[in-house]
Amino acid sequence: MARTVWFLTGNAGKIMEATNHLEPLGYTVKQLIVEGVSIIEPQADTLEEVAKSKISQALAHLPGGKDSEDLLMVEDAGLFVDALNGFPGVISAYALKTIGCSGILKLLEHLNSEDTVQSAQLRSAEFQAVAALWNNGEILYGNGSCPGWIALESSEGEGFGFDPIFTPYDLDALGEPLQPGNYGEKSTHGKTFGAIPLNEKQVFSHRTKALNDLLRQLPSA
């Protein structure tokens, strides 16, 4: 009988992605919806601390209870802008609700150059993600990152969060990021995450990398 992984998320796309990765290993993925209470975003210094706190809060709502064979997964991500000393970082969700993409662009409006390579260097940033999985009292962590830069303006499309203002670096043949000015095997051709289809984004995605890192530590069900 397949073990169930309860994924604490409101994003249907994340459920689908996790299912595609976990079902071949013998796991069934279901969405965990916590009703009547709010999962608090903790004040923390790292994404791992945030993920650990969310797991601790959600364990009480695990359908089968902590003594069952069920697993619990959470994922947390943040945008870290170099020129802003890593802001918004671990408080990205709060920053998105309060100042949004336009607020980040406003903070960086003085960092601009006619040279596109120099602009990318001045406005460098990185998406980071942590996927955490509770399994019989043990928590496994997977980490992923995607370096790039903040665009000069927001673009619309399929993305969410800060996707409309983030452009990833090109990737070489091995999937490693290249510095601005270098053209790789994989490229968005200067487009932001918000301006490309989801399947193209996943090639660069910090979330995909974090999930893959987690799966390398997870045995078959």
pLDDT at 147: 98
115 given a catalytic annotation: no
- SS3 category, 178: coil
- Contact between residue 166 and residue 105 where contact means Cβ atoms under 8 Å apart: no
The sheet with strand 71-81 has its strands ordered as 27-32, 3-8, 71-81, 124-135, 138-150, 166-168
pLDDT at 77: 93
pLDDT at 72: 96
Q: Is residue 59 part of a domain?
A: yes
Write the CB contacts of 113 (distance below 8 Å, at least 6 apart in sequence). Answer: 119, 122
Catalytic entry in 45, 67, 70, 76: 76
Mean pLDDT of all residues belonging to the chain: 91
Q: Is residue 60 part of a domain?
A: yes
Mind listing the pLDDT tens digit for each residue in 79-108?
A: 999 999 999 999 998 999 999 999 999 999
Rounded to whole angstroms, the Cα distance separating 207 from 118 reads: 27
Number of separate domains in the chain: 1
Q: Across residues 28-46, what is the average pLDDT?
A: 87
Closest alpha carbon to 27 in 12, 6, 9: 6
Q: Determine the Cα angle at 118 with ends 115 and 120, to 5°.
A: 110
- Which position has the higher pLDDT, 101 or 20? 101
Read off the CATH number of the domain in which 25 is found. Answer: 3.90.950.10
- Which position has the higher pLDDT, 39 or 158? 39
Q: Is residue 186 part of a domain?
A: yes
Q: Is residue 220 part of a domain?
A: no
Q: Is residue 153 part of a domain?
A: yes
Alpha carbon separation from 116 to 103, 112, 150, 179, 180 (Å, rounded): 21, 9, 12, 12, 9
Q: What's 186's DSSP letter? A: B
The letter for the amino acid at 208 is: T
Rounded to whole angstroms, the Cα distance separating 76 from 117 reads: 30
pLDDT at 43: 84
Q: Is residue 51 part of a domain?
A: yes
Band (pLDDT 50/70/90 cuts) for residue 17 is confident
Q: Is residue 221 part of a domain?
A: no
Q: Residue 10 class from Cβ within 10 Å (0-12 exposed, 13-18 middle, 19+ buried)?
A: exposed
Domain of 23 in residue numbering reads as 3-215
Write the CB contacts of 36 (distance below 8 Å, at least 6 apart in sequence). Answer: none
Mind listing the pLDDT tens digit for each residue in 171-217?
A: 999 999 999 989 999 999 999 999 998 888 889 999 889 999 998 98
- Contact between residue 76 and residue 41 where contact means Cβ atoms under 8 Å apart: no
By DSSP bridging, strand 71-81 and strand 27-32 are unpaired
